[in-house]
Homo-oligomer: A and B are copies of this chain.
């Protein structure tokens, strides 16, 4: 949809994004735990994007897209297809600007996700849970509304927005040896690469991925995008594949991709809940899971970890199932 004219966002785009979205997002705090530091033998800094009002870093990219629209386009609003945090964050940003947001969502999506989008004023059009139905339905909705398509990650405005998180992270810490974030479609990792490759090129960027959805890992090793067949992991925010824009950043700037199994992810999630005392999603626990699995790589280092989101079903926590 924008693939044909790939524009690579720049460091200046990220700076402009931060100026644009600063009034609409939170400068999220850093949490630390002496207990976890001792356990790993490293200094860990957790940036709490789960503390954004709609509960995920995706409000950064979504706000950058929404508040960057000219008045004519803004009147027609924005549109996307997503059943996750992008849908609620785009609805939230559109609500803040007072413009329409249309979301195409499979009718099988969890009721709680639909409720959140509607709470923020997003209009949901349901489709069947298939790629063809989603694409047909989305094309129709976009034609009817003229809403600007904001892709969940493969959009330069979105990547520039996500990059603002790493800028704050650098400002809030005194230099990092490593920066880790989970990888699904690669929006946050790409934004992190965009920012750190200019602002802190000495910081090594590590993407963390569930073993059971390791398409980015395999793509990274192969040197080209490989899609997963039917990934299935507790880290349900990380099921989508890389696209051309995010592959550009991953292939050029990521130092390594580490993976962890679902049981390891659940253990790490519980450790964070217990010792950092923050509510976060399974996806956000993947970085700590990979650190616990590869402790020697991080010994004595300053390690930044982005807690990407905090929207989780409290009635179905993975360790109580």
A residues with a Cβ closer than 8 A to B are 29, 31, 33-35, 50-51, 53, 55, 119, 270, 273-274, 277-280, 310, 314-315, 317, 319-320
Complex CA gap A35/B115 in Å reads 13
Question: Can you list 22 A-B contacts with CB-CB less than 8 angstroms, sorted by A residue number?
Answer: A29-B29, A31-B51, A33-B53, A34-B53, A35-B53, A35-B119, A51-B277, A55-B277, A273-B279, A273-B314, A274-B279, A274-B314, A277-B278, A277-B279, A277-B280, A278-B278, A278-B279, A279-B279, A314-B319, A315-B319, A315-B320, A317-B317
Q: How far is the CB of A278 from chain B (nearest CB, A)?
A: 6
Q: How many copies does the complex hold?
A: 2
Complex CA gap A273/B50 in Å reads 11
Complex CA gap A31/B320 in Å reads 27
Contact residues in B for A310 (Cβ distance below 8 Å): 277
Contact residues in B for A31 (Cβ distance below 8 Å): 51
Identify the 4 closest CB pairs spanning chains A and B, nearest first.
A277-B310, A277-B279, A50-B277, A29-B29
Q: How far is the CB of A26 from chain B (nearest CB, A)?
A: 9
Complex CA gap A314/B277 in Å reads 11
Contact residues in B for A315 (Cβ distance below 8 Å): 319-320
Complex CA gap A114/B274 in Å reads 16
Contact residues in B for A320 (Cβ distance below 8 Å): 315, 317, 320
